[in-house]
């Protein structure tokens, strides 16, 4: 199994450009999450999804949009990138919220720089 795959691994954008980050999981997980990681800030939740066709806002949703048209994919979009969105983005998924299947499985991350 590939687990959680994020594409691309690296990207440099200019201010105002748009892009989409793709997260794909092959574990039939219901729950998917997008986090951003900045030095000294830990991981902050951007958006999450509790199942196909559903999305919800996390701690820092402004400037981002998401979609979960298929259960295995969770897309994160930046419509007009800003330097403040320079960060490492992690996607995570889990099968359930409780019990042995609740641990989050993370992708390898996307390092985004906005100039």
Partner 1 sequence: GQQVMQIPQYQHVQEGEDFTTYCNSSTTLSNIQWYKQRPGGHPVFLIQLVKSGEVKKQKRLTFQFGEAKKNSSLHITATQTTDVGTYFCAGRASGTYKYIFGTGTRLKVLA
Binding site for partner 1 (CB under 8 A): 31, 33, 35, 40-45, 48, 50, 56, 58-59, 90, 92, 97-98, 102-109
Closer to partner 1 by CB, 17 or 71: give it.
71
Closest approach, Cβ 49 to partner 1, in A, equals 9
Q: Cα–Cα distance between 7 and 26 in angstroms, integer?
A: 15
Closer to partner 1 by CB, 14 or 99: give it.
99
Contact 43, 36 (CB under 8 A): yes
Closest approach, Cβ 17 to partner 1, in A, equals 26
On the CB side of 46, CA atoms within 13 Å amount to 26
Residue 19 structure tokens: 């892009």
Q: 12-22 b/e with 16+ CB inside 10 Å = b?
A: ebeeeeebebe
Closest approach, Cβ 95 to partner 1, in A, equals 12
Closer to partner 1 by CB, 17 or 22: give it.
22
């Amino acid at each position: 199994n590939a687990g959680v795959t994020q594409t691309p691994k690296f990207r440099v954008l200019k201010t105002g450009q748009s892009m989409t980050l793709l997260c794909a999981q092959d574990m039939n997980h219901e729950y998917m999450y997008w986090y951003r990681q900045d030095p000294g800030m830990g991981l902050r939740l951007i958006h999450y999804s509790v199942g196909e066709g559903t999305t919800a806002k996390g701690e820092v949703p402004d400037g981002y949009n998401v979609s979960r048209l298929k259960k295995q994919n969770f897309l994160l979009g930046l419509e007009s990138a800003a330097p403040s969105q320079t960060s490492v983005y992690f996607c995570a998924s889990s099968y359930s919220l409780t019990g042995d299947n609740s641990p989050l499985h993370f992708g390898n991350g996307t390092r985004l720089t906005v100039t």
